Amino acid sequence: MAHRAATLRAMSTREDRVFDAVVRRIAAGGYIDEVPASRVGPLRPAPPAAAAQAEQLAGRSLPSLLRRLYLEVGNGGFGPGYGLLGLRDGHRTGGLDALTGLKGGVLILCDWGCGISSELNLADGQIWGYDPNPAPDGVSCAFPQHMTIVDWFSKWVEGTLYQPWLVQDPTTGEWRGATDIEYGEMIAEAFGPSGEED
């Protein structure tokens, strides 16, 4: 019992640190990766009824960090890609909001463009990527990214979160999500050591 209590304290402490880091990044003007901060209006928190509706539709609770970000920071409009999608009447991109994919307990977190999205499986708390671009017919475009919502936002504030990318494994030939090393190699190839596009 004492071990479980210590684990819960450590988790909430990490969640608090990530929450604070997200708030600091937003305060510094780092709202959304793909949109200049000057084009982003003030954030408005989601009404509690919107979070309750999402949880009712999913049949599950939102992870505590995500719920807190929606209710205390903004109803979307900040975060990776084109921004965290809002709950009811919140931030939308491409006609989508977070509730669009809520069937089966999957919450669409953000749109990265070109049909690519990050999604949260509320049943197990894991982040999934969706990349329809390179996959041949019959190959699933969805793949696990092996991180939780806390990991996802932590990587975002650290600048180490990459958009989901479906790749074919050079050894097995199977399709899967890219590793951080593969992302690094792809970025170095596209942009060179200077970080500027070749």
Query: In terms of C-beta distances under 8 Å and separation of at least 24 residues, what long-range contacts does 127-133 make, across chains too?
Result: 127/151, 127/152, 128/164, 129/163, 129/164, 129/165, 129/166, 129/177, 130/164, 131/164, 131/165, 131/166, 133/166
Cβ neighbours of residue 67 closer than 8 Å, sequence gap 6 or more: 51, 61
Q: Residue 164, class by beta-carbon neighbours within 10 Å (0-12 exposed, 13-18 middle, 19+ buried)? A: buried
For residue 142, which of 172, 110, 93, 176 has the smallest C-alpha distance?
176
Check: pTM over 0.75? Answer yes or no.
Answer: yes
- The tokens describing 127, both together, are 């982040």
Could you give the domains of the chain? 2-191 (3.40.1580.10)
Q: Give pLDDT, residue 8.
A: 47
Q: From first to last of the 198 residues of the chain, give the pLDDT tens digit.
A: 555 555 445 557 999 999 999 999 998 888 777 765 555 678 999 999 999 988 888 888 999 999 999 999 999 989 999 999 888 765 555 544 455 555 567 888 998 999 899 999 888 999 999 998 877 888 888 899 999 999 999 999 999 999 999 999 999 999 999 998 998 888 888 887 655 555
* Ramachandran bin of 61, using left for φ above 0, alpha for ψ from -120 to 50, beta for the remaining angles: beta
